[in-house]
Each structure stands twice: as structure tokens, then as C-alpha cells.
Amino acid sequence: GNSVTQMEGPVTLSEEAFLTINCTYTATGYPSLFWYVQYPGEGLQLLLKATKADDKGSNKGFEATYRKETTSFHLEKGSVQVSDSAVYFCALSGSGTYKYIFGTGTRLKVLA
């Protein structure tokens, strides 16, 4: 079945550091891939998405590229801020299905 694996946290960085959160997936066909962010006490917000191979999703300085050859969708940001502290979830939606499969989440803490 479909699955998502993302790096375990917590990840602690200093402000302006480079961020990478790894995400790999297993799926048949051509899934859509997503990154969601969850701030403390809040719901999930869609951060970015990609619907086909080689697509790059980007938003608020975050980027992720859909790599079919490595089945990966790693999240990156060149310079993190304290306000980026949150839990980040990688997710996929399999082609022809409606269920979203989520990774376990990676907690990011950015220190001033």
C-alpha cells in the first residue's frame, strides 16, 4: 500500500539556517504530494504541493521538488525564522484515490 516516511524530529536550528526535511514515499501510479504545516494548537495548513514528476511546489520561501526517480519530496528553506517553528507533515494522495496518507510529522524549532 501507499506510505510516507519522513525524517524524525525534533529539528532544532538557529535563525537564518538552511532547512531540509526529508520525505520519501511509496505509491503506485502518480500520486500528488503535499507539505502541510501545523502551528501549536492549530489545524493543518497547506504549505505547498506538486501533482506530477519534476514539479516544484513553493510558498513562503519553502520549496519541494517531486522526484519520481528517488520517490522523494524533500522540504527546503534557505533561511528559517523563529516564526517557522511548527510541525511539518508530508502527505500523498494516490492517483485515483481520495485518501491522504500522512507522514508522522517533523517538529521544527528555530532559535533566535
> Using CB under 8 A as the criterion, which residues of the chain lie in contact with another protein when the complex forms?
4, 32, 36, 42-46, 49, 51, 89, 91, 93, 98-105
CA dihedral 43, 54, 56, 80 (to 10 degrees): 80
- Minimum distance, C-beta of residue 21 to another protein, in the bound complex (Å): 13
- Minimum distance, C-beta of residue 102 to another protein, in the bound complex (Å): 4
CA dihedral 91, 64, 76, 101 (to 10 degrees): 10
- Which of 94, 110 has the CB closer to another protein? 94
- Which of 17, 44 has the CB closer to another protein? 44
Nearest to 74 by CA among 2, 1, 6, 3: 6
